[in-house]
Structures are given as structure tokens and as C-alpha cells.
Amino acid sequence: MKLKIFLEIIIISLFAIRAQAQPDKTEKYSNTSLSFETRTADLVFRMTLDEKISQLGNRAPAIPRLGILEYDWWNESLHGVARAGIATVFPQAIGMAATFDTGMMKQVADIISDEARAKHHEFQRNKDYSRYTGLTFWSPNINIFRDPRWGRGHETYGEDPYLTGQMGMQFVKGLQGDDSKYLKVVATAKHFAVHNGPEPSRHTFNAVPNTRDLWETYLPAFENLMVDAKAYSIMSAYNRVDGESSSASWMLLEDILRKQWNFDGYVVSDCGAIRDIYKFHEIVNSFEEAAAIGVRRGCDLNCGGIYQRSLKKAVKLGLIDEGEIDLSVSRLMLAKMKLGMFDPTEIVPYAQIPFEKVDCKDHDEMALKMARKSMTLLKNDGILPLDRSKIKKIVVIGPNADNIRALRANYNGTASNPVTVINGIIKFVGSDIEVIFHKGPPIAKDENNKFTSLSENALADVKTADVAIYVGGLDAYWEGEEKKKRKPVEGFLSGDRTKIELPEVQLNALEAMNKTGTPVVFVMLSGSAIALNGLEKELKAVLAAWYPGQRGGDAVADVLFGNYNPAGRLPVTFYSSTDELPEFEDYNMRAGKGFTYRYYTGEALYPFGHGLSYTKFEYSDLKINKTTINHNDEIKVSVKLKNIGKLDGEEVVQLYIKDVKSDKWMAIKQLRKFDRIALKKGEEKTIKFKLEANEDLRYYDSKKRSYMVESGDFEIQIGASSEDIRLRGIVRVEK
């Protein structure tokens, strides 16, 4: 017995010495002249099974003898570096989508990754390896915003697969950089796949889309990001798809992602999703089986601790082979290699970005530019832009007028000097105009709200003002990610909305303000579509400001007073009421009257792509180079655009495709191209688009399991929104 104890002490001591040893710089994994793949293979070969398993959770411990530092894979950068202190806060994703400006999106993402790199290396210098200090970012969220009730919809780029793909690709490219050897950071497209509410059932829900909806609505943006933009990581969803956990789906992770799309990066689970395989989906009978099936089906990294706690036993039980664990570990170590984590900082170009870049003046100015570009004018009876020479008194009322939370949304950083709407207005008008502010009633009524109507003093000020500005809507407290402990409030449930109408307390406030006879402008801060119960007919103007980021107040003031001519466009349909919506849990895009502009057969309050300007644009001279094409042809389309108004401005020219007649069910129309164009007053430009028949006219054939182009007539529509079509032309696809 004494000998056995002695031997155990010797073995433990040897392991301790091995763990504390310094990495051998002569080994292959340390040799920077070798390929990352060769170095990774050598590194993983030297790891013990316990060491390998230790690296498969988001919180991965150090392995000093191999030069592996402690690392947490969890970081966020949805619209700025998040949860890591001071950083530039850009408009929420839905607001950036409203810009319809892919060039600006890439610039913003490049700034975010500059700040990410600068912060990471500062954390490293301070030996801070905690969460939100790494270079692997779980952004962007490219789920399709199918239903406006979904609380997380504002994290996305809206309801359209094409717009989502185009904006998402530029975001990924800006994050990951363009160096031929190193990744700037890793971008993670999420949540794969068919994940867009409801929040309360996300851990148990089984999404069962038909095959065409899967390939025509839910997967295209992911294909854009993984195949075209080369995002190096993808996050699985909580829910099941066709009965399989998204985190252990042969169809999603092996067939589509690895085989069809040739993805060679790594897959990470949403946080707790591996646990859900056993605990909520009840697909397997133990955590060991959940861990084994997760790795075997291609989920390399677990956000959570199930892999680290259960895989060793799973190996002993024969549920998984060590070689399968090697594959996942290799993918993760290769990602770290590509980020330069095993190389001297002096040879990694992105490691030279100075910390002074964080929250610098140039980045603050870009936050203002992006906020301006996101401003979407939904209605204007001529009151905007406000004429300062005719105004002596303005009353500003509303729960979002001085609400920083409504600027920053969720998954946000901390702005050093956020500008709320009331502060932006006061700063803009200076001492020339009297500005009176009343907060008024809250966003929504719950048990903590005592005052739910406008005071007599507030209404008296409205009556004597030249114009009243109501700043309302929602914020990320009311719409957002799963909020289990939140008490139900009328219109809201666990982060989702059960009604899309503006909360009653706000409708009442607006109605009371309208009755005074003073013109009312509604500035709406929200991340989703809001119905107004007919009040939109009485309001003089409605401005959708989204969640506009740290310079949001300045951007709103610039638009209200004409210092900036708005050109944002709706990335979602604004429905007239909740009654227009199908059942929330129905993933069939044609359910009820249909989800999104592509299938909705009702009359929208404000259609997808809608947005007004202070100037006017004329469309003319549509030219299509071919009227008869085959399935593989390229089509060149051009149109002239002229600013015929009195102000310089921007227009978002939108190209939609409509299958004129089909014996199959088809989308009503689909956005296939867009371009945001700046024109001075009187200026004219020719806008050119190139269409690929096998890409832009396709549908998914469920029987043949591939994309096809139907023969027949297709209408090319050019316009200022999905409903405001200015020019049309027909092309015929021959058999």
C-alpha cells in the first residue's frame, strides 16, 4: 500500500512538473516558418486527452508547458466592442441595416475590429484573460427577422435574406481583415439555423420549416457569410430543426455546412445549447451522450461546461473516440494560430494597433455618420425640416428623450459621452429657441408605474409651443433576449412582444398632445416595427431613429432641423396591427397572410424599403440588355436617377424580381440589388446593376434538392421601396 501511494505521488509530481514547464521553442508548433496547419497538428499531438478536453469549453485553462494561455472564447461586437468597458457604440444592427449602405457597414466593422485588437493586447499586457477580452467575436446575428414580435429582432439586419447577406458579408470582412496570413479577429455568424423566436420556448422548440423556406429564407445569408465572406466561425442555435438539435444536427453541421459549403472553420454552441440536447430536447439520456453527440456531429466548442465535465467519461463509455475530439481541438487551435496567438506580437500586423484608437475622435464621428444614415423618415406632412426662424418654443416629451438605454440597445459597449435626443436638440438650437422637456409617462405600464398620463403642466406647455416632439417607442428592457424572471406585462412576454402596437400609455400621450392643436412629431426609438392604431394619420411626421448609438441625439437633431437629409430605409415591414400577423410559432413563410414583404398579402402600414427624403428623385430610362435569356445568362440593367428637388440628398435605388406566372408557389417579389446614391440638387446619374440568372431568378426545387431557374417571364422592378415601384421591364427565361 505504501509503495502504491509513493508511486501515485511520483506520477502526480511528474504531471505537475510537465504542466509548469515552459514551451520548447524548437518544436514545430513554435516554428513560425511552418504552416499554421503543420504547427497545429504538432501542438495537438503533444496534448493529453485531459488537456484536449479542457480546451473545448468557452472558458479554456492555460497549458503552460505548450505555451497555451488561459482564454475565454466568448466576446461580443454586435455594434461595437461590447461588455469590455469604454468603446465606440454604433447604432444597433437593425439601424445599420436601415442605411442600406454596405460600404459604411464595412468601415464600421473595421473600426470595431481596430478597437477589439487594441483592447485585447491591452488586456494581455495586464494579464487579464477574463471573458470579453479575446479575439473571437460572436457576431453578427443574421437570423431572419421573420416576425416583429421577436424580442431579439433588433440584433439582426431585418427580414430580407438578400439585404441580410449583403450587410452581413461586409461586417464579417471588416471584422476579419484582409491580411493574407492572419485574421484580425474571428467573426461568428449566428444562430444556425431557423432561429427567430419565440424566446420563452427557444430551449425546447422544434422548428419545422418546409424545404423551400429553409433554403430560400433561412439559409441564404448564412451561405453568403460562410462561403463568400469566409466567416471563420458559426454559432449553432438552441432550438431543434426537423427534430435534430441545431448543435448536433447532421443536416446542418455536417451535410450543409461542411460538405456542401466546404466550411473549414469551427462551430460553437449557443450558451447552454449542449445541455439542452439532454435536459430540454430529451434527444439523449445523459450529459455524456449530449457531449459526445455534440462533438461527433460537428459542434467543436461548447459555450458552457458540459464538454469539459462529461467528455472524459464519454470516451470511457465508448460514446466517442479520441480522434473525434482531436478534430475539434485542432480546429480551435488553428483559429488561435491564425489570430497570431502563438506568434511574437511584432510579426502580427494587427497587434500593432495602439490602444489610443479606442473611443477616438474619428470613431466618434463615424458613429454620428452611421446614426445619420440610419434615420428613416416614415411620414412628413411638410413640417420637417423644422424652420428655426419660425420657432420660438419647442416642447419635448417622452420616455426615450433622455434614455441612454434606448441609444445603446443590447450587446453593447459603454459610450464615454452618449448624446440623448433631448441633449442633441438643446445643443443644436442653442439659446435661439426655448426647449422645455417633460419625461411624461413610461414606455409601458407595469406594477412600478404610478403616473401613466401626461400632466396638466406638460399639456399646457404643448398648447403654447410652436411644435411638440414626442420621443417614445421601446428600449432593450422591453424587447430583447430571453427574460425568464420578468413579470408579464400587457403586450410583452419574456423579451418578446405579444402585441406590436405602441404601448397604450404612449398612445394616450400622443392622442392628448394631438388634441391640443399643436403639430406633433413622433421620434420613434425602437428595434422593430410598431403599429400606431391610426394615430399616424394625425401625426405631422414620424421618424424611425432605431437604437442609434452614442451620437443618436445629434443625428436626430440634425434630421429634425435639416442639417442632414434622411435616406434610411425600412429593413422590416411595418404592419398595421397584430391581427395581421400569422401564428408566431409557425415557420412557414406563407402562413396566414404571410410573413415579411416577400409573402405578406395585406396592406402594410409602411412597406419594406420605405423611407422619405427632403428632396425628390426622378427615375427614368430603364434599360435591360437582354429580353430573352437562358438559365445561366448575365443580365445588365441600368436606370437614370435625377435629383429634381431643392436639396442635396441620397436615394436608395432598389431592384426587385417578380416571377410573373408560375405553377409553383413563389415569393410575391424579392429584393435582388440595391444602391445608395448621393446626388446634388439637379444632378443625374446612371445606376447600373448586374444580375445572374442562376442566382437572382432561382428557387429551390425540393424534389431535385438544388436551386433551379423556372422558364417564363420575370419582371424587373426598380423603385424607392417594395411598394413604390417606378419602372418595370420583362425578361423571358427560355427552356
**Closest by Cα among 564, 485, 477, 471 to 520:** 471
CB under 8 Å to 687, separation ≥6 — which residues? 638, 639, 640, 641, 653, 675, 677
Ranges assigned E (strand) in 33-133? 59-60, 71-72
Secondary structure (DSSP) of 439-477: --S-SS--TT----S--HHHHHHHHHSSEEEEEEE--TT
Q: First CA to last CA across the chain, in angstroms?
A: 84
* Residue 447 among the catalytic residues: no
Q: Look at strands 467-473 and 698-701 and give their pairing.
A: unpaired
Ranges assigned E (strand) in 87-159? 136-137
Backbone angles phi, psi at 674, to 5 degrees: -160, 160
Q: Which residue has the cell 430583447?
A: 480
Alpha-carbon distance of 248 to 234, in angstroms, equals 13
Amino acid identity at 39: R
- Active-site residue (options: 199, 270, 276, 461): 270
Contact of 428 with 557, CB cutoff 8 Å: yes
Contact of 608 with 656, CB cutoff 8 Å: no
Contact of 706 with 671, CB cutoff 8 Å: no
Label residue 83 left, alpha or beta by phi (over 0 means left) and psi (-120 to 50 means alpha). Answer: left
- Active-site residue (options: 110, 479, 496, 675): 479
Ranges assigned E (strand) in 195-296? 206-207, 233-236, 240-241, 244-245, 266-268
CA quadruple 451, 456, 462, 465: dihedral positive or negative?
A: negative
Contact of 667 with 598, CB cutoff 8 Å: yes
Ranges assigned E (strand) in 118-178? 136-137
- Cell triple for 405: 438605454
**Closest by Cα among 130, 136, 157, 134 to 146:** 157
In degrees, to the nearest 5, what angle opens at C-alpha 673 toward C-alphas 667 and 677?
140
Q: 240 - beta bridge partners?
A: 206, 245
CB under 8 Å to 601, separation ≥6 — which residues? 593, 594, 668
How many CA atoms within 13 Å lie on the side-chain side of 172? 27
Q: Look at strands 266-268 and 233-236 and give their pairing.
A: parallel
Is the preceding peptide bond at 207 cis, omega within 30 degrees of 0?
Answer: no
Which helix (H) or strand (E) segment is 680 a member of?
none
Query: Residues of 392-427 as b/e, b for ≥16 C-beta within 10 angstroms?
Result: eebbbbbbbbbbbbbbbbbbbbbbeebbbbbbbbbe
Alpha-carbon distance of 130 to 695, in angstroms, equals 44
* Residue 583 among the catalytic residues: no
**Closest by Cα among 38, 44, 116, 43 to 79:** 116
Amino acid identity at 706: S
DSSP 631: T
**Closest by Cα among 506, 500, 546 to 526:** 546
Alpha-carbon distance of 157 to 169, in angstroms, equals 11
Catalytic positions are 270, 479
